[in-house]
């Protein structure tokens, strides 16, 4: 099956620092990757859609200058949380899309990265 | 009104019970319906997907979609303690971009 990895699995940082999270598709090429945020006991909130070789598309209310996304290759997308603050503490999950025809959007999720900002 | 409504639970059942999980939705453009299982502090894993209306069975799991009622269900037969997790429904379609919309997730506890 399709495998998506994330690194690191957890990170603790000081307020004001930047944190980079990597998302890799291990056994397939992903034209599109998605970044989600999940608060405890809540569902996934889509932050942005990342397309290889082009700028990410951010959802309404997500600051693109704070959450920098780079999708430089078909197997790697990175999310950088810049100048992190305690309110950015959350569970960040990426997913990669395997298209099966024009319309189906099957996503495979990474294991998530737990960010704690002190 | 949210596009996808899902009761967050928690739902607690004894081992061996039949579990019924449900979601309702408002956007008739949704065509693909998925169920994901998420264990604590892990990423979601795809359990089943269904295109349009109908039933799909995979082992102990059965997914049902009723587009006329905008209602989808996941049934788990002979539930096991290892089924304890959060179950998220999700759907996508030609809604002006094929974004996947997730339900809030239902927390399920299966007691031995």
Residues 6+ positions from A72 with CB-CB distance below 8 Å:
A52, A53, A78
Q: Average pLDDT over chain B, rounded to whole? A: 91
The whole-number pLDDT of residue A105 equals: 61
Confidence of residue B95 (pLDDT cuts 50, 70, 90): low
Contacts with B46 from chain A: Cβ below 8 Å: 106-109
Integer Cα distance of B30 and B5 in angstroms = 14
Confidence of residue B93 (pLDDT cuts 50, 70, 90): confident
In this predicted model, what pLDDT tens digit does every residue of B16-61 receive, in sequence order? Answer: 999 999 999 999 988 889 999 999 888 999 899 888 888 999 999 9
Integer Cα distance of B51 and B64 in angstroms = 10
Pairwise pLDDT comparison (B9 vs B78), residue with the higher score: B78
- For A108, which of B46, B88, B98 is closest by C-beta distance? B46
Confidence of residue A28 (pLDDT cuts 50, 70, 90): confident
The three-state secondary structure class of B83 is helix
pLDDT(A61) > 70: yes
Interface residue B85 vs chain A (CB under 8 A) = no
The whole-number pLDDT of residue B8 equals: 87
In this predicted model, what pLDDT tens digit does every residue of A90-113 receive, in sequence order? Answer: 999 999 887 544 445 678 899 999
Integer Cα distance of B102 and A109 in angstroms = 13
Contact flag A43-B41 (C-beta cutoff 8 Å)? no
Contact assessment for residue B10 and residue B40, using Cβ atoms and an 8 Å cutoff: no
The whole-number pLDDT of residue B72 equals: 96
Which stretches of chain A sit within 8 Å of chain B by CB? Answer: 4, 6, 34, 41-44, 46, 49, 91, 93, 95, 103-112, 114
What's phi and psi for A91, nearest 5 deg? -105, 120
- For B103, which of A43, A95, A114 is closest by C-beta distance? A43
């Amino acid at each position: 099956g399709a495998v998506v990895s994330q690194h690191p699995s957890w990170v603790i940082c000081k307020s004001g620092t930047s944190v980079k999270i990597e998302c890799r598709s291990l056994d397939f090429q992903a034209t599109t990757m998605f970044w989600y945020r999940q608060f405890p006991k809540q569902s996934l909130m889509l932050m942005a859609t990342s397309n290889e070789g082009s700028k990410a598309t951010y959802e309404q209310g997500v600051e693109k200058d704070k959450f920098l996304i780079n999708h430089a290759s078909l197997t790697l997308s990175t999310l950088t949380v810049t100048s992190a603050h305690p309110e950015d503490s959350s569970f960040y999950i990426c997913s990669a899309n395997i298209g099966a025809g024009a319309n189906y959007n099957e996503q495979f999720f990474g294991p998530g990265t737990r960010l704690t900002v002190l | 009104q949210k596009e996808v409504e899902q009761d967050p639970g928690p739902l607690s059942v004894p081992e061996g019970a039949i579990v019924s999980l449900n979601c309702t939705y408002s956007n008739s453009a949704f065509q693909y319906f998925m169920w994901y299982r998420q264990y604590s502090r892990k990423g979601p894993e795809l359990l089943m997907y269904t295109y349009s209306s109908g039933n799909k069975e995979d082992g102990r799991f059965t997914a049902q979609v009723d587009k006329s009622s905008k209602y989808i269900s996941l049934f788990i037969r002979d539930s096991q303690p290892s089924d304890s997790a959060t179950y998220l429904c999700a759907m996508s379609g030609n809604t002006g971009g094929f974004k996947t919309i997730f339900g809030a997730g239902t927390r399920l506890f299966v007691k031995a």
